Structure 1
Amino acid sequence: MTSTVREITPNVDAGTVLAGAQFIDAFRVEIGAKAVNAREACTRMVLHGPCWIDALLRLRNVLVTPFGLKTSGEGAPAPHGLIGLFPVLSETPERLVAGFDDHHLDFRIVVDVTGDARDRQVTSTTLVRTHNLLGRTYLTLITPFHKLVVRSMMGRIA
């Protein structure tokens, strides 16, 4: 089965997940009969990505450190542990919400697993709420990379 990642219209309650979010996008991949829960899907996305994504994250961390931005989940509440650098904020087998708040922006990643045993889908939705010019500038600069990274990460699930 060939897995195609496609951008879709987001279908989350933004007011509940991240009230005031100014940016929301979502990507979906069909995984067929593969049995996976939301934590497994998120782990495959975040921890088993291509090397070029790790290189981009390292570059990002170097570039944002002078601005005092978080480079990992340090200091963020993680009631359900971490997946990579992302604190898991809530979790069921069908949905995992991760993310953290920073002084320039707050973000959430929502990973949903839907469908029956023959036709499962995984959707990753990203929500961002900016707080200031730094947050808006950062979001503008990172958005093209974000879309490439999420597509690549979603392809790792299947």
Structure 2
Amino acid sequence: MTGSVREVPPEVDAGTLLAGAQFIDAFRVEIGTTPVNAREACTRMVLHGPRWVDALTRLRNILVTPFGLKTSGEGAPAPGGLIGLFPVLSETPERLVAGFDDSHLDFRIVVNVAGDATLRHVTLTTLVRTNNLLGRTYLALITPFHKLVARSMMGRIVERAR
């Protein structure tokens, strides 16, 4: 069914993308025959997401600043530039990998576009490796929000294509 976002088993090589990741999840949305590459899909999710996600991100940035955590794509320049606050680390038309390493945790998001001409889908995989107690606490606090945000952002891929 086109437009329905569902959680799926992750189909990525976690060891290559983020060795030691303790959290991995994946969500998939069917996009029918919509011609979209991985960068477009990521851009639709990140830059055209629901307004409440932007508000939640701003609140997160305010709350983590006193702890010295990154609030945007701070640090080394990204080979593929930024999409929103996500530094693009590698990219092909079918796969985009973004993310960064911080003192509390390291994360990657992987956007895959696959399927054939009649039924295509986009999969968003998130990988997180915590580095200390702050990272483990942060991950525990944001996991319920992450799942809601990921589903909502993925729904934007199909909405923007209509």
TM-score bin (small chain):
over 0.9
The answer for the alignment partner of 1:22 in structure 2 is 22
Q: Which amino acid aligns with 1:124?
A: L
Is the contact between residue 105 and residue 131 of structure 2 (CA under 8 Å) also seen in structure 1? yes
Q: Which amino acid aligns with 2:70?
A: K
**1:118 CA drift (Å):** 1.0
TM-score of the superposed pair, with normalisation by structure 2:
0.96
Question: What is the DSSP-based 3-state SS (H/G/I as helix, E as strand, rest coil) of the residue aligned with 1:128?
Answer: strand
Hey, what's the Cα distance between the residues in 1 that align with 2:50 and 2:14? 29
The answer for the alignment partner of 1:114 in structure 2 is 114
The answer for the alignment partner of 2:74 in structure 1 is 74
The answer for the alignment partner of 1:54 in structure 2 is 54
The answer for the alignment partner of 2:140 in structure 1 is 140
Question: Superposition RMSD on alpha carbons, in Å?
Answer: 0.8
**1:2 CA drift (Å):** 4.5
Name structure 1 gaps, 5 residues minimum: none
Hey, what's the Cα distance between the residues in 2 that align with 1:14 and 1:23? 10
Name structure 2 gaps, 5 residues minimum: none
**1:72 CA drift (Å):** 0.2
Is the contact between residue 2 and residue 29 of structure 2 (CA under 8 Å) also seen in structure 1? no
The answer for the alignment partner of 2:45 in structure 1 is 45
Hey, what's the Cα distance between the residues in 2 that align with 1:97 and 1:45? 14
Q: Which amino acid aligns with 2:11?
A: N
Question: What is the DSSP-based 3-state SS (H/G/I as helix, E as strand, rest coil) of the residue aligned with 1:139?
Answer: helix
Is the contact between residue 77 and residue 89 of structure 1 (CA under 8 Å) also seen in structure 2? no
Hey, what's the Cα distance between the residues in 1 that align with 2:91 and 2:71? 23
Q: Which amino acid aligns with 1:22?
A: Q
Is the contact between residue 33 and residue 120 of structure 2 (CA under 8 Å) also seen in structure 1? yes
Identity score, percent? 84
